[in-house]
Structure 1
Amino acid sequence: MKTIKNTIAIGIFVCSSAVFSQDTLQISKTDLTTKLSDQNLQLKISKQNVESARSDYRQSNALFLPNISASHTAITTTNPLMAFGSKLNQEILTQADFNPALLNDPSQVQNYATRIEVLQPILNADGLFERKAAKSKMEAYQLQTERTKEYLELEVNKAFMQLQLAYKAVGVLEKANTTAQANLNLVNNYFKQGMLQKTDVLDVQVRVNEITNQLSYAKSNVRNASDYLAFLLNEDTKGGIYKPVENLENEINPALEIAQLSTSRKDFLAMDKSTEAYKNMMKSGKMSFLPRLNAFGTYELYDTEIFQFGANGYTIGAQLSWNLFDGYKSIGKYEKSKVELQKAETEAEQYKKQSQLELNKTNRQLADAQNKVALSKLAFEQTQESFRIRQNRFVQGLEKTSDLLMTETQTAQKELEYLQAVFEYNFTKMYLEFLTK
């Protein structure tokens, strides 16, 4: 049975070592921002949203710029009205064409017309506010993109710290494994000398197997943390594993004051711009009840042959149009935009209050995390000293095997808890800076 257990433990350790020994890719914290800005997929999507909104805003240039179109039309007709009008446009009408017989039953007439048309908006009040709404929407997306980048910087730094923590956990467990193996050798020697019982050897062997299993999971966590960091940076590691150049910080720099919420946060400003866009859309709906003034002009060329310009003429004018009633469509559109504005204002108020709530919570979490770091550091130092004393007493035959194993287990556990506490404090501090940025 002992042989089987040893074989299983060695197999787990060898497999995990094989996975962990794959190509390591060095990565520094200073590389993260550049790679994130250039490669992250979520940030690219956000930038594409900005470009889409900018295109919508550019479409509103039609409010000031003319619409110019050109066409060439070819017809052949025996329709009395069309035939007479075509000859008139071609400036080839003669006295004979006024013969009633020809007027009523004309022969076939061909007409080729080239037409250039210009439509120039002059006053469209609803369009002006739609343009302002499109601009506010574009600015809102720009601010959202900046806030998204700040969030992703937080997330990628968190992933980097998790990778550091995962490597540190592997180091702690490898050290614990070395200690456990040394204890196992020592217990085996004592057992052979008849100084310990078989149960003592089995207890130590169980502890060695536990550490081997924990070490396997810790190395899997390194792979998981590396894969997530590669996802955020949109990089193909090709089976390799990231390894941080910098080690995880073992100390903290306590915050000196309570953080306050900033009204100039990018997401707050984005919501204000979004509300402004809804406000302009509501004004646009109100202005749609006013008349519109537009100018137009056409230049036409006619001939009996294709692409020939024997006659020409132009038309210039202006049109004042007023849609008095469109079946409640404009009224319904205005009412909808008014409700959407109220909804946007309510959502902005709710979001800001939730952000304040989150900030208050994080301030308390930071204080708790600082206290946790101090207590876990003290606990780790105390278990280290306790293990040292018990190990010395065990070598002298003055300590039980079970007590030594318990203290050794606590030492590794407390060291991991201390590292986790430092990680939680540093991330909470980073998150607090993100909330107040």
Structure 2
Amino acid sequence: MKKIKGIVLVGVLLVYFSGHSQDTLSISKSDLFQKVADKNLQIKIAEKSYQSAKADYNQTNTLFLPNINVSYTGISTTNPLMAFGSKLNQEILTPADFNPAVLNDPAVTQNFATKFEIQQPLINVDGIYGRQAAKTKMEAYQLQTERTKEYLILEVTKAYMQLQLTYKAVKVLEKAEATATANLKMVENYFKQGLLQKTDVLNVKVRVGEINNQLQYAKSNVQNASDYLAFLLNEDSKGKTYKPIEELENAIEIEAINTQLSENRKDIQAMNKSSEAFEKMMQMSKMNFLPRLNAFGSYELYDSTFLGTAAKGYLVGAQLSWNVFDGYKSIGKYDKAKADFQKAEVETEQYIKQSQMELNKTNRQLKDAENKVNLSQLAFEQSQEAFRIRQNRFAQGLEKTTDLLLSETQVIQKELEYSQSVFEYNFTKHYLQFLTK
């Protein structure tokens, strides 16, 4: 019975842990680019902003297209003016209706009217500039959306490289853990032989514990990097961990990169389009002082019975309107639009200069990163050789345990620093390409 209970307990534990285990999903960089373009939330927000601007532009079609309205109205009245007008519209007036007594105190009169109205803009100069401003604004949002996609490609590349770096750190620390464990066994054997003191064994055990702790921290960083990658891809990260198919590059590739700021960069084009839109808005406010010409017309059906169409009539015309003075409102709008345009111009100039400064800074960082890779690679190789020498001397009883531990720690540190420097150089190169794209 006890044996059966034990088997059941083991089965329950296996089910529990299998239900709470992490699924490791292999993923390549090419897969990420397609997923981020299809699913990233920031890209979707940018696309919706563009669609909103496009809808604003479509609204300006009213500048050329007619406004058509259909209405059906039924009334019952004893109002003298309304009663007389209703009969007149219905074409049923008789000489008796001109009797003053009937005019002043009419009987209940019913009127059912069907009315088709059309309003057609003809000349609205301010509206033309408003339409141009809306179109330019839409184009600016389109360019900004394209730049957002380029930025997300850069960001997902960085996230993928960070994931590679965390796996590399785990691999280095696992190797260090194996080395430290082997050293611990060797020290324990020497201690049993009376060649070392108890403090030497304790020092090595402390070092093994430190590496175990660093390894656990590195594994947590793997999950953190995986979660951020899942966020960029708009995927649920619960219960799964991404693992890159490609390992972190172990060397750098020097190549010439154009470091000139291009005015064809999508975000700079978007800023210029934004300034152009504000200029069109200023011109629209200026043209608001000009008169407008609009045509209108209506076709009306009247009857004293519901849905009747006994009497018919139409009306066509045109209106030239000119708002000569509106209490300084139009002047104030023009001044505001002018200030907004000038502000947009200054912001565009500032953005271009700031972008050039960022480009120059990144170019210097790339050179610094290249130098750091070379130095860290040399330091890593030297630390490996130093550790090999100390390990051999320690086996011969010529080195202290503390010196061996210090040398071992230095090897791990320099290898991680070298991997970090390679990551920094490669990402800086990607970022520089993004700034010059």
Please tell me the TM-score bracket, short chain as reference: over 0.9
User: Offset at 1:76?
Assistant: 1.3
Cα deviations across residues 213-263 of structure 1 (Å, max 9, x unaligned)?
A: 111110110010000000000011331111011100001111325521111
User: Offset at 1:398?
Assistant: 1.8
| 2:224 match | 224
User: Offset at 1:188?
Assistant: 0.3
Distance 2:274 2:124 in 1: 23
Cα deviations across residues 140-175 of structure 1 (Å, max 9, x unaligned)?
A: 110000111111111111000000000000000010
Superposed counterparts of 1:404-419, under 5 Å? 404-419=404-419
Distance 1:85 1:414 in 2: 99
**Which secondary structure does the structure 2 equivalent of 1:180 belong to?**
helix
Distance 1:257 1:359 in 2: 11
**Which secondary structure does the structure 2 equivalent of 1:121 belong to?**
strand
| 2:94 match | 94
User: Offset at 1:47?
Assistant: 0.4
Q: TM-score under structure 1 normalisation? A: 0.94
Cα deviations across residues 261-282 of structure 1 (Å, max 9, x unaligned)?
A: 1110000000011001100000
Distance 1:186 1:303 in 2: 112
- Structure 1 residues 258-267 or 290-299, which shifts more? 258-267
User: Offset at 1:295?
Assistant: 0.1
| 2:61 match | 61
Aligned pair 1:77/2:80, yes or no? no
Distance 1:324 1:429 in 2: 60
| 2:237 match | 237
Distance 1:109 1:21 in 2: 83
Aligned pair 1:139/2:142, yes or no? no
Distance 1:131 1:342 in 2: 20
Give the conservation status (yes or no) of the 8 Å contact 2:119–2:296: yes
Give the conservation status (yes or no) of the 8 Å contact 2:133–2:280: yes
Give the conservation status (yes or no) of the 8 Å contact 2:257–2:433: no
Distance 1:406 1:381 in 2: 16
Cα deviations across residues 12-61 of structure 1 (Å, max 9, x unaligned)?
A: xxxxxx9x973211111110111001110111011000111110000000
Aligned pair 1:293/2:308, yes or no? no
| 1:315 match | 315
Distance 1:23 1:313 in 2: 77
| 1:251 match | 251
Q: Which amino acid aligns with 2:373?
A: V
Cα deviations across residues 74-98 of structure 1 (Å, max 9, x unaligned)?
A: 1111222211111111111112212
- Structure 1 residues 233-242 or 354-363, which shifts more? 233-242
**Which secondary structure does the structure 2 equivalent of 1:312 belong to?**
strand
Cα deviations across residues 183-236 of structure 1 (Å, max 9, x unaligned)?
A: 000000000000111111111111111111111110110010000000000011
User: Offset at 1:397?
Assistant: 1.6
Q: Which amino acid aligns with 1:372?
A: K
Distance 2:358 2:386 in 1: 41
| 1:149 match | 149
**Which secondary structure does the structure 2 equivalent of 1:254 belong to?**
coil
Q: Which amino acid aligns with 1:381?
A: E
Distance 2:83 2:236 in 1: 72
5+ residue gaps in structure 1? 1-17
5+ residue gaps in structure 2? 1-17
Distance 2:123 2:258 in 1: 54
Q: Which amino acid aligns with 1:98?
A: F
Distance 1:419 1:410 in 2: 14
User: Offset at 1:435?
Assistant: 0.4
Distance 1:413 1:106 in 2: 105
Distance 1:109 1:405 in 2: 109
| 1:22 match | 22
Superposed counterparts of 1:162-201, under 5 Å? 162-201=162-201
Q: TM-score under structure 2 normalisation? A: 0.94
Alignment root-mean-square deviation, CA: 1.5
Identity among equivalent pairs (%): 70
Distance 2:314 2:256 in 1: 78
Distance 1:218 1:335 in 2: 59
Q: Which amino acid aligns with 2:346?
A: T
Distance 1:403 1:192 in 2: 21
Give the conservation status (yes or no) of the 8 Å contact 1:130–1:280: yes
Distance 2:171 2:78 in 1: 97
Aligned pair 1:374/2:350, yes or no? no
**Which secondary structure does the structure 1 equivalent of 2:243 belong to?**
strand
Distance 1:376 1:35 in 2: 35
Distance 1:112 1:50 in 2: 46
- The runs of at least 4 consecutive aligned structure 1 residues that moved more than 3 Å come to none
Q: Which amino acid aligns with 2:196?
A: L
Give the conservation status (yes or no) of the 8 Å contact 1:258–1:363: no
